[in-house]
Structure 1
Amino acid sequence: MNTFTETTNTASTWGLYEQMRPQEIEAIQEKTPIAYLPWGAIEYHGNHNPTGLDSIKAFNLCKDLAEKNGGLVFPVVNLAANLIKSYPGVNFPKHSIEFSENLIRLVCEEYLEQLVAQGFKIVVLLSGHAGEPHLTILKTVAEEFNNKYPDKRFWALAEFDILPNDLLVANHSAIGETSLQLFYAPETVDLETLPKDRLITLELDAVSGDDPRLATIALGEQIVTSFVKNGSIIIEELKQKYL
């Protein structure tokens, strides 16, 4: 598995919440009360990618942000609505675990309330799944919490929200997501399962976006580098205002 290697801010400390003892958590939180909440999905991503792609991507991007900016990374929330299994015009009923939009809203509300109670002042909610209205629900709840707790900041996003369109756009198991997966967990990707003699389609291959056969580790690294750079600028601005 590749890890992002840009020089980190050694003055910051970070950690994986569920792997730390209370005193370790509190030491980090006292210095940098930022929570990173990766929000994933168990969803069919074709034969060439794992069902946990959204979760793997969200967790690792959060981890890279935390290493750069400090804070605590929470376990992935593997709950998602609006998966490919219910997308009109396609027939991929297996390998996706789908939940209701109402449940997504409820879990998000309760999770953010718990993070408030735990004393976090900035919450970064990164959704690896961009199905709609799943993503909009998370962003809406975050904005409601910004209004409810004006002394704190809740930032919900998908990775492509802070990247130029010529680098990454919303896609499903296409070149962008596949390149990220190749960067973070190349052993889970098998491009040889994709057909070589025809166009890649949503209906046949569960791919929405540009051809995943062109995916590379180098492109994945470029996406990660740009994401961490742009995300860190925003987090630094939030630190100045809310910490």
Structure 2
Amino acid sequence: MNNNKNSEHTVKWGFYQQMRPVQIESIHSKTPIAYLPWGAIEYHGKHNPIGLDSTKALNMTVDLAKITGGLVFPTVHLAANLIKSYPGVDFPKHSIEFSEKLIRNICEEYFEQLVLQEFKIIVLLCGHAGEPHLDILKTVAKAFNQKYPDKYFWAFAEFEVIPKELLIANHSALGETSLQLYYAPETVNLEALPKDRIISLEQDAVSGSDPRLATSAHGEKIVKSYIKNASKFMEALIQKYL
């Protein structure tokens, strides 16, 4: 939580669940922005933690909230369309998968609750890009934008605001592993990856560029690009809706 004694010109943000009502209201009155990180509990190979998607979503959400102000809600650790259900892949353990119907219902009910709390901008950053999981969240956001035209619901994945040469959708590959090395290096073990063969989805649960090349420095480049582009979009939303 942001415990600094901010001047009235300093952006204020905080973790919703860690704040008292008067603190929440102080932030909400100036920046009625709700941030909802959305992760997953999913197998990410032997080299990455099960909660990679959640770690990524939470930290990247906080990075943005620190710039724009607003309130960061607890991470939703629920996802559909995990690697355990991918055709031809056999990783049945260490993934907790939920139905597409439940994901849609939870997103709809969460958004309705945030409307009742009088937030003007709702930002859902999805750390899990399984299909149609991400599309479901974006479809719900689109429907709510039509239902509540005086508010804005932005559901997206981090790679959608980053140049493709720096990051594309991947599963525990170079991009995600570099982000994990940047945010939580103690949770990554690159030595667990094989050294004598090509990395594959079927054997290693990796889809994308070779994670053995991942570095914290590359993760930092991704984060800086994300912050630059996402904050620019948020500035436009703030001008329009706040």
Q: Which TM bucket (shorter chain)?
A: over 0.9
Shift of 1:12: 1.4
Using the alignment, how far apart are the partners of 2:163 and 2:232 within structure 1?
15
Aligned equivalent of 2:131? 132
Is 1:225–2:224 an aligned residue pair? yes
Secondary structure in structure 2 of the residue aligned to 1:225: helix
Shift of 1:11: 2.6
Map Cα deviations across residues 141-178 of structure 1 (whole Å, 9 max, x no partner). Answer: 00000000000000000000001100000000000000
Aligned equivalent of 1:16? 15
Match runs of 1:100-111 below 5 Å: 100-111=99-110
Aligned equivalent of 2:79? 80
Shift of 1:27: 0.3
Give the letter for the 1:121 counterpart: K
Secondary structure in structure 2 of the residue aligned to 1:124: strand
Match runs of 1:1-243 below 5 Å: 11-243=10-242
Map Cα deviations across residues 70-116 of structure 1 (whole Å, 9 max, x no partner). Answer: 00100100110000000000000000000000000000000000000
Output the aligned Cα RMSD.
0.9
Map Cα deviations across residues 42-61 of structure 1 (whole Å, 9 max, x no partner). Answer: 00000000000000000000
Using the alignment, how far apart are the partners of 1:66 and 1:132 within structure 2?
27
Map Cα deviations across residues 181-205 of structure 1 (whole Å, 9 max, x no partner). Answer: 0000000000000000000000000
How many residues are aligned here? 235
Secondary structure in structure 2 of the residue aligned to 1:126: strand
Using the alignment, how far apart are the partners of 1:74 and 1:223 within structure 2?
23
Using the alignment, how far apart are the partners of 2:10 and 2:49 within structure 1?
36
Normalised by the length of structure 1, the TM-score is 0.96
Using the alignment, how far apart are the partners of 2:166 and 2:140 within structure 1?
28
- What residue ranges of structure 2 are gaps of 5+ in the alignment? 1-8
Using the alignment, how far apart are the partners of 1:136 and 1:83 within structure 2?
14
- What residue ranges of structure 1 are gaps of 5+ in the alignment? 1-9
Aligned equivalent of 2:3? none
Shift of 1:38: 0.3
Using the alignment, how far apart are the partners of 2:20 and 2:223 within structure 1?
29
Using the alignment, how far apart are the partners of 1:230 and 1:21 within structure 2?
32
Secondary structure in structure 2 of the residue aligned to 1:15: strand
The list of structure 1 runs, each at least 4 consecutive aligned residues, that deviate by more than 6 angstroms after superposition, is none
Secondary structure in structure 2 of the residue aligned to 1:116: helix
Map Cα deviations across residues 24-50 of structure 1 (whole Å, 9 max, x no partner). Answer: 001000000001100000000000000
Secondary structure in structure 1 of the residue aligned to 2:35: strand
Aligned equivalent of 2:5? none
Secondary structure in structure 2 of the residue aligned to 1:139: helix
Structure 1 vs Structure 2: percent identity of aligned residues? 73
Using the alignment, how far apart are the partners of 2:61 and 2:28 within structure 1?
16
Give the letter for the 2:166 counterpart: L
